[in-house]
């Protein structure tokens, strides 16, 4: 099981995306999803769950917090959440970060957030102010580690160098958009920066908005709030990738979705991909990725199929 680079956090191979809580999964369904995910997570590591203050306007955090409290499972979960932009004028100002963190701590019903992200970069606020505010949270014991989401390579370098210069908490991870259908925006300069600066990667949209489950095909209509965006992957490249996933999945007796997540988890710098399901059956299709071992030939097949 992986360890988040630069931390003492040992986490599950899959990070469960809590964006569905209170959105496409009501509270009872969310509880069932979390129960199933925890059952599939070895007791030696933390069940890694990702949420944000903006998901469901706090509903996602509240559901996760209620589940941890009712089940008494706080010690079994590694909780990641984010300070989100919402409609804030300066979302990563010191004042906004403090307010966001306190709100998340209340929603989650915890004393400490394990991994706290800047959800999006905020170029209207000096990095010194943002990082100092995060450092204050770490020093106060309200946050264990900090991370960045949706940062450019240039801004990520600037942020890490600012923390190092000031001797304060630095980002330990990056959450980028990265999967078999979206490789170019991460592979290259951004990945090089992550590797050189000793960060870990936690990619979101690990299943390309559900496209890599194989349910989106030309001419088919799918009942999903993500259908319109996922359908953009339908085409020649998408067909190649889905065919490769089906071939590898068949060889292992697992779904193509599990194969896609395993390929992603095996990429350089990646700690754990983020993916979600809105039903226990959907989650069950993903969980085999944790024990799946791809051969070099299978990895190459998938990589070649997904080349632009």
CATH number, domain of 153, equals 3.20.20.100
Would residue 301 count as lying in a domain? no
Which residue in 15, 5, 2, 1 sits closest to 147, CA to CA? 5
Catalytic residues: 55
Over residues 76-102, the pLDDT tens digits come to 999 999 999 999 999 999 999 999 999
Which residue in 187, 197, 191 sits closest to 159, CA to CA? 197
Rounded average pLDDT per 10-residue block, the chain, 308 residues = 93 98 97 98 97 98 98 98 96 98 98 98 98 98 98 98 98 98 97 98 97 74 64 92 98 98 98 97 98 98 96
User: What local confidence, expressed as pLDDT, does residue 238 receive?
Assistant: 96
User: What local confidence, expressed as pLDDT, does residue 218 receive?
Assistant: 52
What residues make up the domain containing 126?
Answer: 15-211+264-292
Would residue 258 count as lying in a domain? no
Could you tell me whether strands 143-149 and 113-118 are parallel, antiparallel, or unpaired per DSSP bridges? parallel
Secondary structure class of 184 (helix, strand, coil): coil
Distance CA 68, CA 194 (A): 32
In contact, 254 and 292? CB cutoff 8 Å: yes
Would residue 227 count as lying in a domain? no
Would residue 302 count as lying in a domain? no
Which residue in 148, 39, 42, 49 sits closest to 108, CA to CA? 49
Would residue 247 count as lying in a domain? no
Distance CA 89, CA 291 (A): 44
Would residue 221 count as lying in a domain? no
Would residue 8 count as lying in a domain? no
Secondary structure class of 44 (helix, strand, coil): coil
Please state, as a whole number, how many other Cβ atoms lie within 10 Å of the Cβ of residue 106: 13
User: What local confidence, expressed as pLDDT, does residue 230 receive?
Assistant: 78
User: What local confidence, expressed as pLDDT, does residue 229 receive?
Assistant: 75
Tell me how far CA of residue 304 lies from CA of 27, 183, 245, 301, 308, in angstroms: 41, 12, 12, 5, 9
Secondary structure class of 126 (helix, strand, coil): coil
Would residue 64 count as lying in a domain? yes
In contact, 150 and 156? CB cutoff 8 Å: no
Structural domain tally of the chain? 1
* 148: DSSP letter: E
Angle, in degrees to the nearest 10, between helices 27-39 and 59-71 = 60
Over residues 105-119, the pLDDT tens digits come to 999 999 999 999 999
Tell me how far CA of residue 108 lies from CA of 65, 277, 298, in angstroms: 4, 21, 40
């Amino acid at each position: 099981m992986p360890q988040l680079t630069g931390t003492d956090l040992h986490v599950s191979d899959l990070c469960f995306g809590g964006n569905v809580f209170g959105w496409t999964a009501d509270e009872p369904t969310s509880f069932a999803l979390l129960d199933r995910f925890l059952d599939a997570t070895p007791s030696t590591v933390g069940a890694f769950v990702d949420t944000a203050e903006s998901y469901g306007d706090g509903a996602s955090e509240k559901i996760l917090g209620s589940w941890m409290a009712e089940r008494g499972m706080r010690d079994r979960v590694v909780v990641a959440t984010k300070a989100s932009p919402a409609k804030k004028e300066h979302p990563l100002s010191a004042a906004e970060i403090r307010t966001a963190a306190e709100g998340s701590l209340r929603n989650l019903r915890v004393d400490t957030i394990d991994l706290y992200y800047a959800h999006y970069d905020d170029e209207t606020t000096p990095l010194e102010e943002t990082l100092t505010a995060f450092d204050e949270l770490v020093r106060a014991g309200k946050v264990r580690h900090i991370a960045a989401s949706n940062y450019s390579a240039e801004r990520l370098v600037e942020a890490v160098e600012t923390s190092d210069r000031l001797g304060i908490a630095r980002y330990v991870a990056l959450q980028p958009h990265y999967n078999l259908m979206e490789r170019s925006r991460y592979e290259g300069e951004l990945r090089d920066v992550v590797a050189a600066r000793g960060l870990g990667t936690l990619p979101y949209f690990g299943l390309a908005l559900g496209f890599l489950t194989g349910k989106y095909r030309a001419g088919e209509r799918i009942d999903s709030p993500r259908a319109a965006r996922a359908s953009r992957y339908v085409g020649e490249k998408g067909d190649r990738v889905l065919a490769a996933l089906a071939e590898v999945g068949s060889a292992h007796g697992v779904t193509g979705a599990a194969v896609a997540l395993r390929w992603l988890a095996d990429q350089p710098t990646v700690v754990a991909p983020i993916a979600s399901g809105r039903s226990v059956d959907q989650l069950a299709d993903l969980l085999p990725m944790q024990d799946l071992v791809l051969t070099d030939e299978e990895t190459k097949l998938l990589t070649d199929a997904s080349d632009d």
